């Protein structure tokens, strides 16, 4: 009976020993992915800020500028692209909508970001764009990969339509989470005019005829949860200028927008709560369950060997057979 029990325990030990690496190295890369129908709104503010008043063509100090950033998963488009790509794909249609202190639109920049649902690597397909301009992204945008590493990544900048390194600057604690802090600085670069301007009748073509050029620089900062790869906080020190503006505005350079953009407090709280719940699911696959199964396998193996030893040691030694009396025939 003991020997049968030891064999059952040995079989269970082998099963759990096999399941530990299977969960980590086989199940996790296939199960951990971004859902195609994700919808998220984030509100950021710059308080105070400098903003161009288009009615006076002068830069003015304002109390607040609000940026509403929307990410919406396009399920229909992702399914179309998946058929050709042969892998799980997410299509995010995003919109960065900027309003002034009066609530009126300052600018709006739509994007379509297409990426691998598991690795967050970009997937190049028709429709990938920024403000209507086709782009070919390299690196990440909006989100880091699951199990983010302590290293630099290529990060796509929507204004310049190019990718540049975003540098790992160390581990920090943010709202009770150990996070990785990243920084990227984009030097002054000439960038396209927005397709949608705040004044009717003014288009990029009209501005181009005046000789105006738009320049941009920013320092962006992200606090990233390394388990899920989701930023729990983001900030930008953002500057935009119009140059060659003397003929139209009386001076060569005029500030369009300048300010330190930060996530609004209620949205930080919401994002942190969401990340804390999602990271538990990832940790179950990459850490908690594999380690639990490994320890359980070792305990079952030890118990199996102990029962086998008890089974062998508990047997009675074979008794010597009694001698048989043989008599010779008379």
- Grouping H, G, I as helix, E, B as strand and the rest as coil, residue 23 is helix
Same domain, residue pair 72 and 109: yes
Same domain, residue pair 100 and 9: no
State the average pLDDT for the chain: 90
Determine the average pLDDT of the residues in 168-177: 96
Please determine, for residue 326, whether its predicted confidence score (pLDDT) is greater than 60. no
Any domain includes 325: no
Higher pLDDT: 6 or 214? It is 214
Any domain includes 258: yes
Residue 57: predicted pLDDT: 80
Determine the average pLDDT of the residues in 182-193: 96
Same domain, residue pair 230 and 297: no
Residue 330: predicted pLDDT: 43
Q: Which domain holds residue 289?
A: 2-21+285-313
Alpha-carbon distance of 217 to 205, in angstroms, equals: 23
Same domain, residue pair 100 and 145: yes
Determine the average pLDDT of the residues in 133-141: 95
Same domain, residue pair 40 and 188: yes
Same domain, residue pair 254 and 213: yes
Which residue in the block uniquely carries the two structure tokens 């919109």? 95
Same domain, residue pair 164 and 247: yes
Stated as kind and residue range, the H or E segment containing 65 is strand 65-73
Alpha-carbon distance of 171 to 161, in angstroms, equals: 29
Residues 62-112 pLDDT 10s: 999 999 999 999 999 999 999 988 899 999 999 999 999 989 999 999 999
Same domain, residue pair 177 and 258: yes
For residue 52, give the nearest of 179, 270, 198 by alpha carbon.
Answer: 198
Residues 13-33 pLDDT 10s: 899 899 989 988 888 888 899
Q: And the tokens for 330? A: 């008379």
Residue 1: predicted pLDDT: 62
Distances (CA, A) of 302 to 12, 235, 288: 12, 53, 21
Total of domains in the chain: 2
Same domain, residue pair 36 and 15: no
Determine the average pLDDT of the residues in 231-238: 96
For residue 152, give the nearest of 196, 127, 183, 192 by alpha carbon.
Answer: 183
Same domain, residue pair 175 and 293: no
Alpha-carbon distance of 284 to 189, in angstroms, equals: 44
How confident is residue 328, by pLDDT bands cut at 50, 70 and 90? very low
Q: And the tokens for 148? A: 């983010």
Distances (CA, A) of 143 to 148, 202, 208, 234, 245: 10, 34, 34, 11, 37
Contact 64, 45 (CB under 8 A): yes
Residues 282-304 pLDDT 10s: 999 999 999 999 999 999 889 88
Same domain, residue pair 296 and 216: no
How confident is residue 200, by pLDDT bands cut at 50, 70 and 90? confident
Any domain includes 280: no
Any domain includes 78: yes
Same domain, residue pair 223 and 297: no
Alpha-carbon distance of 103 to 65, in angstroms, equals: 9
């Amino acid at each position: 009976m003991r020997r049968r029990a030891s064999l059952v325990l040995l079989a269970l030990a082998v099963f759990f020993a096999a399941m530990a690496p299977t969960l980590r190295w086989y199940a996790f890369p296939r199960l951990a992915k971004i859902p195609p129908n994700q919808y998220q709104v984030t509100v950021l503010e710059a308080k105070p800020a400098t903003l161009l008043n288009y009615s006076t063509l002068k830069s003015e100090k304002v109390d607040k500028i609000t940026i509403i950033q929307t990410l919406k998963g396009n399920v229909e488009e992702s399914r179309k692209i998946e058929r050709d790509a042969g892998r799980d794909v997410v299509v995010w249609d995003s919109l960065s909508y900027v309003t002034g202190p009066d609530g009126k639109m300052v600018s709006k920049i739509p994007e379509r970001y297409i990426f691998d649902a598991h690795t967050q690597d970009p997937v190049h397909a028709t429709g990938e764009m920024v403000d209507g301009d086709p782009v070919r992204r390299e690196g990440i945008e909006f989100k880091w990969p699951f199990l983010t590493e302590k290293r630099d990544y290529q990060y796509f900048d929507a204004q310049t339509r190019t990718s540049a390194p975003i540098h790992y600057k160390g581990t920090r604690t943010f709202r009770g989470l150990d996070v990785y802090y990243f920084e990227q600085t984009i030097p002054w670069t000439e960038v396209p005019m927005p397709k949608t301007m705040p004044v009717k009748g003014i288009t990029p073509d009209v501005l181009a005829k005046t000789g105006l050029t738009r320049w941009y620089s920013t320092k962006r900062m992200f606090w990233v949860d390394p388990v899920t790869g989701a930023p729990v906080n983001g900030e930008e020190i953002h500057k935009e200028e119009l140059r060659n503006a003397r003929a139209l505005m009386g001076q060569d350079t005029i500030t369009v927008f300048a300010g330190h953009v930060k996530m609004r407090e209620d949205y930080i709280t919401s994002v942190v709560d969401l990340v804390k719940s999602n990271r538990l699911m990832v940790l179950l696959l990459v850490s908690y369950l594999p380690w639990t199964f490994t320890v359980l396998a070792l305990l079952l193996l030890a118990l199996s060997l102990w029962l086998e030893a008890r089974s062998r040691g508990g047997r009675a030694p074979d008794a010597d057979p009694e001698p048989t009396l043989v008599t010779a025939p008379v």
